[in-house]
Amino acid sequence: MAGAAASILVFAGSADAGGVPNAFTQEAIPRGLNYIMQPHIGSYGWFGFGAGFADLDSDGDSDVIIMGNAAGTVGIFENVGGGMFVDRSSVANMPVLPEGSAFGAGDYNGDGLIDIYLTQIGPTNFLMRNDGGFTFTDVTAAAGVGDTGASKGASWGDFDNDGWLD
């Protein structure tokens, strides 16, 4: 598949009374999750490590975050209900991460908005403060969390029991 593109696939299905699936259809693109992964030019081959859910707009439903294509884009998709999503990546102000690997989502500053810590196999990780409206600001340097080692995961927790996410 060298030089080919692949899309993120989301499948929806139904089951009979016994719980056995009887039909599946590819639903990603019809539902607005159009995030194309390109082959990476370099030693790591294909990326597609980070994908998950977080309520980025505090409306009570789960929005989608996807990362790991060769262009280094971070896909931010708003859940608008009814199983439909709108691409908000162009307003999100995310850094380019050609070796993006994972993310952790949590409200590190206690403002009620879910922030994102982006990791990558290469250079620097990024802490992105959620400013609302699907816009984010890079606060990595101010927070002193620009780890330069290879990172393949991130998570939040209150490790020191002070009431704040670490």
Q: Which has the minimum average pLDDT: 6-15, 65-74, 101-110, 129-138? A: 6-15
Strand segments (E) across the chain:
6-7, 11-15, 21-26, 36-37, 50-54, 63-67, 74-81, 84-87, 100-106, 115-120, 126-132, 135-138
Q: Which has more confidence, 11 or 85? A: 85
Output b/e per residue, 20-47; b: 16+ Cβ within 10 A: eeeeeeeebeebbbebebebbeeeeeeb
Residue 10 reports pLDDT greater than 80: no
pLDDT given for residue 127 in this prediction: 96
Higher pLDDT, 6 or 73: 73
Note whether 153 and 102 are within 8 A (CB): yes
Q: Is the pLDDT of residue 131 over 90?
A: yes
| Cβ(75)–Cβ(50) below 8 Å | no
Q: List the domain boundaries for the chain.
A: 47-143
Mean pLDDT of 87-106: 90
What does the block give as tokens for 69?
């294509």
The answer to whether 136 and 113 are in contact (CB under 8 A) is no
Is residue 26 classed as helix, strand or coil in its secondary structure? strand
Higher pLDDT, 158 or 20: 158
Asked if 42 contacts 57 with a C-beta cutoff of 8 angstroms, the reply is no
pTM: 0.74
| Average per-residue pLDDT for the chain | 78
* Helix, strand, or coil (residue 113): coil
pLDDT, average across residues 117-121? 89
Q: In a 10 Å sphere around its CB, with 0-12 CB exposed, 13-18 middle and 19+ buried, how is residue 148 labelled?
A: exposed
- Residue listed under structure tokens 């403002």: 111
The answer to whether the Cα torsion of 59, 67, 135, 114 is positive or negative is positive
